[in-house]
Amino acid sequence: MSRLRVFHDSDGSEPLRTLSRHAEIADELGKVGVRFERWEASQPVAPGASQDDVIAAYRSDIDRLMREEGYQAVDVVSLNPDNPDRAAFRAKFLNEHTHAEDEVRFFVAGRGLFTLHVGEKIYEVLCERGDLIGVPDGTRHWFDMSEEPYFIAIRLFTNPSGWVAQFTGDDIAQRFPRLESATNRAEFVS
C-alpha cells in the first residue's frame, strides 16, 4: 500500500503525520508541487514484457503527461534482487540531490521510496505498483530501492540524455529511514 510519512527535517525517528489513502497523499504532496497519480494499464502486461509493450499499456497517460509537461523521452527501467550490481545502483540514489528537470517515475511493478526535502519538512513517499510520482526540478530528494530491489518503472524526461543529478553534499539522507526489503514481490498489472 502506498504511504506518505511527513517528518521535521531535524528528526527522522517520529513522523509528524502518516497517510495511506491515495487521495490524501496526492492532496498533501500537491501542496508542495509534487504530482502523485494512479494509473491503470489499458491492456495486459505480462512478466518479461518488452519496453515497447510496457509503454503501450500506459500510452494514453504517457501521452497526456508529455503534452501537459513537455516531456521529450520515455523509457522503462527495471531492477531485480539478483542483479549483481544492485548495491552500486542503490548507493547511486541514496544521497540528497536535485535535478534540472522533473523526476517522473511510474511503478509498473514493485516499489521504491522517494524522500523529498522541502523547507523544514521531509516527505517520505512509498510508491508501489500503479503509482506515479513527479518530483519538480530543483527539489532536494533521494531514492531507496532497498537491499533487495524489485521494480519496473516508466521514466519520463525533458532532457533526452536522461537522469542527471546534482548532489547537495548534505548527509541528511543518512538520518532518515530506509526502505526495508519486501517479503513478496508485486506482479504486473493485467
Mean pLDDT per 10-residue interval, the chain, length 190 residues: 97 96 98 98 88 96 96 93 94 94 95 98 97 97 96 90 86 95 49
Question: Using an 8 Å Cβ cutoff, are 148 and 181 in contact?
Answer: yes
CATH number at residue 41: 2.60.120.10
| Separation of CA 90 from chain center | 13
56 part of a folded domain: yes
Domain hosting residue 21, numbered range: 3-170
- Please write the tens of the pLDDT for every residue from 26-60: 999 999 999 999 999 998 888 889 999 999 999 99
176 part of a folded domain: no
Of 3, 4, 40, 35, give the one whose Cα is nearest residue 156.
Answer: 35
95 part of a folded domain: yes
71 part of a folded domain: yes
pTM of the entire predicted model: 0.93
175 part of a folded domain: no
Of 91, 92, 57, 51, give the one whose Cα is nearest residue 73.
Answer: 51
Q: What is the pLDDT of residue 106?
A: 98
Question: Using an 8 Å Cβ cutoff, are 143 and 114 in contact?
Answer: yes
79 part of a folded domain: yes
Question: Using an 8 Å Cβ cutoff, are 132 and 184 in contact?
Answer: no
Output the CA torsion sign for 134, 187, 125, 138: negative
- d(CA 108, CA 76) in angstroms, rounded, equals 9
109 part of a folded domain: yes
Q: How many domains does the chain have?
A: 1
To the nearest 10°, the Cα dihedral for 50, 56, 104, 88? 0
